[in-house]
Amino acid sequence: MPPLGYVMTTERCHLTCAMCHFNGPSAVKKAGTLDPALVKKALTGRLPGEKIWFVATGEFFSDPNALLHLRTAVDLGLSPRVITHGQLLTPALIDEILAIGVNEILVSVDSIDSDRYAKVRRGGRLEVILDACAYLRGRKRDYPDLRVGVTAICFSKQPDERAIVEAFWRPRVDYLQFVSEYHDMFNFRRIFFVPEKRSDCRLELIPLPTGRIAPCCAIAIYAHDQDVSWLPHLAEDSPEEAYRKLCDMYDDPASPLGKICQTCNWWVQFHTNDRGETPIYQRVEFEGA
């Protein structure tokens, strides 16, 4: 089966995050959701135990079919994981998703200061995240394989020192992932190191809320407000067919995808140094967490 990146199921979100391309203050908000039948089509035939990351261009748990998607993955013998802004993680929802079989949750958090967090995640509160992390910590007694992580975006004016951020999250989660901030859609600022030469991108299948299939995160962002009728559609193509089409376009500089790739530096996410780090992701594991 072709590599699967993320399954992005919905455009819906009740927050208006300052930096969000999809639901931010100046974004054109949409409310599409991926048909559950298409989610099942994307997942059918994948290897037993494969990790499946559910996320959204909005918020995954704003998808009315979110729990259905998780159950579908489990029924197919897969291991569902979730990326979320965490504002909907009540104890009741946490209990339900753990009972379904989710054993990893990654929460996007942009500041450890409550006021600053509220300015970035407009409509959200840091205290909700902290309560959810504390509750998840307690549930580890019943779910010892549960993993909880936090993603911290490295904003250009982020005043928090890395060591302070690490110390804050160490007793609360299992790992912390620092991520560089993208801008102008196709570029990054504050990358952790500069690669000596360009790496080839590793194309993946990323089903979008529209049913179209993006080959990477950059195209998933681009697809929100651009004509991407040239992307394969899950209703028309099998995952294998979609992957072949995307690979052909990637290899053709005159194709719609090829033209975009020439202006994009998201390839840095596929470059690793001798320590296994990429220019835009750095992960800190907390021992004994």
pLDDT of residue 114: 94
- Whole-model pTM: value is 0.94
CATH label of the domain that carries residue 63: 3.20.20.70
Q: What are phi and psi of 52, to 5 degrees?
A: -120, 115
pLDDT of residue 128: 97
User: Does 255 fall in a domain?
Assistant: yes
β-strand partners of 151: 108, 177
pLDDT of residue 277: 81
Q: What are phi and psi of 18, to 5 degrees?
A: -55, -35
Domains in the chain: how many in total?
1
d(CA 269, CA 186): 12
Please provide the size of the chain in residues: 289
User: Does 150 fall in a domain?
Assistant: yes
User: Does 276 fall in a domain?
Assistant: yes
pLDDT of residue 193: 87
Q: Which residue has the tokens 């009740």?
A: 14
d(CA 98, CA 156): 36
* Per-residue pLDDT reduced to its tens digit, 62-102: 999 999 999 999 999 999 999 999 999 999 999 999 999 99
- Residues in the chain with pLDDT < 70? 155-160, 288-289
User: Does 1 fall in a domain?
Assistant: no
User: Does 248 fall in a domain?
Assistant: yes
Q: Print the domain residue range for 37.
A: 6-285
